[in-house]
Structure 1
């Protein structure tokens, strides 16, 4: 998921509008093709153009429609024909066509270290493993829970690698009716065992792990969590999956979404390239549609130690297939989705000393708030290993040194770090705000930035060993009221509910 680790390891609410129109995947493929040769395409229609004739145009070009998102003028199709894109471009109303093959963003593999698990403690607040949740005490979650743990009428959508909804800390708050699997580009039922990666279950636990006497406690343990699988099992977030996920959130009563990934094929999407521009436009339309339907979108900044407001170099894109990345100079004409889409709340990561984590990307125009994401190098302090502990599927891999099992249930938990871990803390605080005040996405975004503890720019010399992709040092811009490292400051759950 373009996630958090160097590389990416980023009241009444509005009612629903038009129903989601989705065409099922055809059981047969175009003549003369095989499933193995099939590629997925995003077909972008001009603003205001109808997609009603898309099925015929796609079929004539030798393809099949996977999904027709008529509300935003985007169609997802599959074809094994080499001339498919050029043919469909000739159809009435079509603005651009782009293959999504090679345009995925993968979660980075966890790096090994020699951290050792501390003895499990019984906390004065929380559940059996809450003594290990330094992140929750840092943002005053225990004090906030003395007032409220959130409302079950608030629905959080976790756009991620999936969700182990059978986990004892997730099951009590799981909303099956608002969960889906978008890994095909069209919504399908979310089945058991869907999170082979573990990342999605980890972020969901930080948001809404139940206060049930065992394991951990999330920032908002009384709200409902919907799993929206937005990647394949290898952790690649392809454009058609991201588009499907935001369209689902827009039409299924989701109030706030967690987005711990980069949604574009490239880390930085440069709009002067036709392939990148088509995918960027489709994803941005889907995000805007969700926002217009009352969805607050919160996203991680990424784990590349890079100033997103002043980018100069991209060295990791595209990241699929593996080994195809290329070094290229970039400018502000290139942007990261979803964090740089207007209205999206961007979150940087902090460690246990309330300093920006060594890996966290940042930017004066992109950083809105900061939240605990962990730091296993500069800010271990009194923590076990500087990382954040959260829920994890039994079958998903987690290094033994980072794995903890609950003594009562045997449920699995894993330590991880990244802006992927920071964003769900901010999402949880936003869910608490929605629970006590309600409001539009814009109002909640503004209140979230007010429910913070301002942090001044630190001595950036400590980040010297962790330069930006370009090799330039990390620098902090702005004052305590708002700066590129922390935005308005580190989120505070108590301030949110007080």
Structure 2
């Protein structure tokens, strides 16, 4: 099959800002934002209050991503009365806490032209606590630093699994694996132990019988400690949510005679915990997760979430721009280091290619009704180099036919591929058991599993080549039944419901 070129979305952000708008924003707040087109109205502002005496969290982006500029931002934070929580010199990003209302303007003045942007990351005070001392740029010898992984040579930790011969007890209930031809792909390969998938989520149950063999504790981390990488023995475990455990089962539940089987049952997974006990994925958590994936030289990440507290982050708003830019840099850096990313499209029945109004954000305080524009993006799903996955349900029941799940987001040019996401059977924490969940969160891990199989069969592929192949190999899926209020547009080969079609595990390994 001939490869079709990867869809290139319009760049979400500009690395540097310019013009009267940006200058005015710096003057008012100390933060920059991406200027909108001359004929496009601005998005509705969402001022984030940072009163004196209340600890707020900020992300700062250096003009140039290098250790020198990052170190100067750290000094500027201290001069402005803040505390450096975490530095990522690889991408020129600093996480800071401050309880001074003028922190954004003060740090911008102290940093001068070394600062590209600064913004608050949430609309509520910090709940995690703040380190008592200034941290330093992470490097050899620094507290909390973990040496980057070396990619194991083929065979160092096991090779491809034996071709499947015996089904796990509940595999016959996994219609979703049949729909994407994973059952057929398993006759060729069940994945390679050299392949590592980062599950950026709420944690993986460490003793679930279907997950324990494939969860690599040495590669796991907790990023919810204000955006610092916590490598403690239990930090990456689930606490208040089994969402990540369910996702992990779909990706790589082992073929072991117990329960279910994953799309890629012989690859390894790392639990990269980015969901706090309160259920939020703040930008600094996501930055930590993506940089960690790049540092550990993971092959694939799954991202069944959007970054809080905004369903859509608008580049013409100073705070939102800075946080979005920090995450974008982390995604891009990890991609450059060989990581390919799958992400859920979202569950708002929203047309991502025609954003108008949003009533859901900020979701950590009081949501408002706001007007969106083309600078507003779902993070990380709408970044270049991220595979965005819509969800399908089995319809009619009992068949291998499908239609768009009623909750799934859509959008011509926004969706890459589709995968099953309604009533998916997978692993859960309670009683180390099994249960069904629905959402694009359940669709995305099918694609992450297929990417892991692809990497196992074709280890030399780059992330861009993997995305090209994934899209080209997807089975074309016509619009079919139209959900009320959500018209399907496009062609059989590429439409707003299913992108380039249903992901195909068999083609991925052939």
**Band the TM-score falls in, shorter-chain normalisation:** 0.7 to 0.9
Contact 1:270–1:334 at 8 Å: present in 2 too? yes
C-alpha distance in 2, partners of 1:265/1:279?
11
C-alpha distance in 1, partners of 2:167/2:58?
47
Q: Which residue does the alignment assign to 1:77?
A: 96
Q: Report the secondary structure of 1:345's partner residue.
A: strand
C-alpha distance in 1, partners of 2:124/2:169?
42
Q: Which residue, out of 426, 430, 440, partners 1:390?
A: 426
C-alpha distance in 1, partners of 2:90/2:478?
43
Contact 1:179–1:190 at 8 Å: present in 2 too? no
Q: Which residue, out of 57, 60, 82, partners 1:40?
A: 57
Alignment of 1:481-492 (within 5 A): 481-492=493-504
Contact 2:489–2:495 at 8 Å: present in 1 too? yes
CA displacement 1:93-123 (0-9 Å, x = unmatched): 122222223279xxxxxxxxxxxxxxxxxxx
Q: Which residue does the alignment assign to 2:454?
A: 433
Please say if 1:349 is aligned against 2:391.
yes
Q: Which residue does the alignment assign to 1:368?
A: 416
Deviation, 1:221, is 0.2
Q: Which residue, out of 179, 183, 202, partners 1:161?
A: 202
Deviation, 1:65, is 1.1
Contact 1:182–1:188 at 8 Å: present in 2 too? yes
Deviation, 1:162, is 1.5
Please say if 1:451 is aligned against 2:441.
no
Alignment of 1:258-337 (within 5 A): 258-321=302-365, 324-337=366-379
Alignment of 1:230-269 (within 5 A): 230-269=274-313
5+ residue gaps, structure 2: 1-52, 126-164, 396-401
Deviation, 1:231, is 1.7
Please say if 1:67 is aligned against 2:67.
no
Q: Which residue, out of 462, 474, 478, partners 2:490?
A: 478
CA displacement 1:229-268 (0-9 Å, x = unmatched): 0120122000110011111111111111101111253111
Q: Which residue does the alignment assign to 1:17?
A: none
Please say if 1:412 is aligned against 2:412.
no
TM-score of the aligned structures, taking structure 2 as reference length: 0.77
C-alpha distance in 1, partners of 2:193/2:207?
19
5+ residue gaps, structure 1: 1-35, 105-123, 375-386, 395-409, 465-472
Q: Report the secondary structure of 2:360's partner residue.
A: strand
C-alpha distance in 2, partners of 1:102/1:416?
30
Say what the alpha-carbon RMSD is for the aligned residues. 1.9
Instruction: Return the structure number with greater relative CO, CA threshold 8 A, min gap 6.
Output: 1
TM-score of the aligned structures, taking structure 1 as reference length: 0.78
Q: How many residues are matched?
A: 406
Deviation, 1:47, is 3.0
Q: Report the secondary structure of 1:327's partner residue.
A: strand
C-alpha distance in 1, partners of 2:333/2:239?
27
